[in-house]
Structure 1
């Protein structure tokens, strides 16, 4: 198991609402298909295509998570918001981390035909991990927002206490 973001966050399955993430498992399967490529150039093209797809999914997932973080900010008391701004900062830092970590991994293969392939696979691997992190964040935010809605609904139907 590699380093994971957001571990330990209790999340139960969301039974209602629209899921915001694209199918991450399908992209992971595409990465395995690159093993069938016959030449180094084919392997590289495949790895780059798979990374490009996962990076596009990451952009969509991040946008959805950012919208939810904005909704969360709107539900918080004055002076306690900042979820969206914090998410933006963390995403920028994560992109820097991913790029640096994968460049570093590529140095292990410097001067070989596999260097670029290894970097692309690393970028895809870390991007898939981030997608899972954003998925968990979306679920937690949705649960919190739903819980707040339920609490508001309960208070509207409470009888006054004498």
Structure 2
């Protein structure tokens, strides 16, 4: 394939991807996640739930991190490290969550249910982690 043909194929693939994104975006608005019918609907609903959970987690993480940073400021230099410990824990938790949910997806490995299982697992674990971070911040006085 010539360089020009490669560019042309790439542009066609990009255009097809954009068209699919636009079509899915329009369909997502019509999606009834209280009563999804098709596997595609169920997967889209779980992915939306994952996205919502991720946004909530990120917001709570900022609050909790700020609370631990404030705690560190009130401690003697040799006692500080709460914020650093949280960052370390959160990174480890993300690795755990992703691996745990990848493993959960093996229930339907290669099938159309796999992405739904992974997204649902991520949403559940993320919701639980958000709750943990909120409780941690509350114990710090925030």
Band of TM-score, shorter chain: 0.7 to 0.9
In the alignment, what sits opposite 2:105?
A: 106
Residues 83-102 of structure 1: matches in 2 within 5 Å? 83-102=82-101
Q: Higher helix fraction: Structure 1 or Structure 2?
A: 2
Q: Does 1:61 align with 2:60?
A: yes
Matched positions, count: 111
Segments of structure 1 that go 5 or more residues without pairing to the other structure are 1-32, 144-162
Does residue 133 (structure 1) correspond to residue 132 (structure 2)? The answer is yes
Q: Quote the offset at 1:34 in angstroms.
A: 3.6
Shift of 1:36: 1.3
Distance in 1, Cα, partners of 2:33 & 2:131: 22
Q: What is the root-mean-square deviation in Å for CA atoms of aligned residues?
A: 1.3
**1:116 aligned residue:** 115
Unpaired segments ≥5 residues, structure 2: 1-31
1:131, 1:57 → 2: CA distance? 7
Deviation at 1:35, TM superposition (A): 5.5
1:8 equivalent in structure 2: none
Q: Secondary structure of the residue that 1:37 maps to in structure 2?
A: coil
Q: Which runs of 4+ in 1 moved over 6 A?
A: none
Residue 11 of structure 1: aligned partner: none
Deviations 1:87-115 (A, max 9, x none): 00000000000000000010111132111
Contact 1:35 1:43 (C-alpha < 8 Å) held by counterparts: no
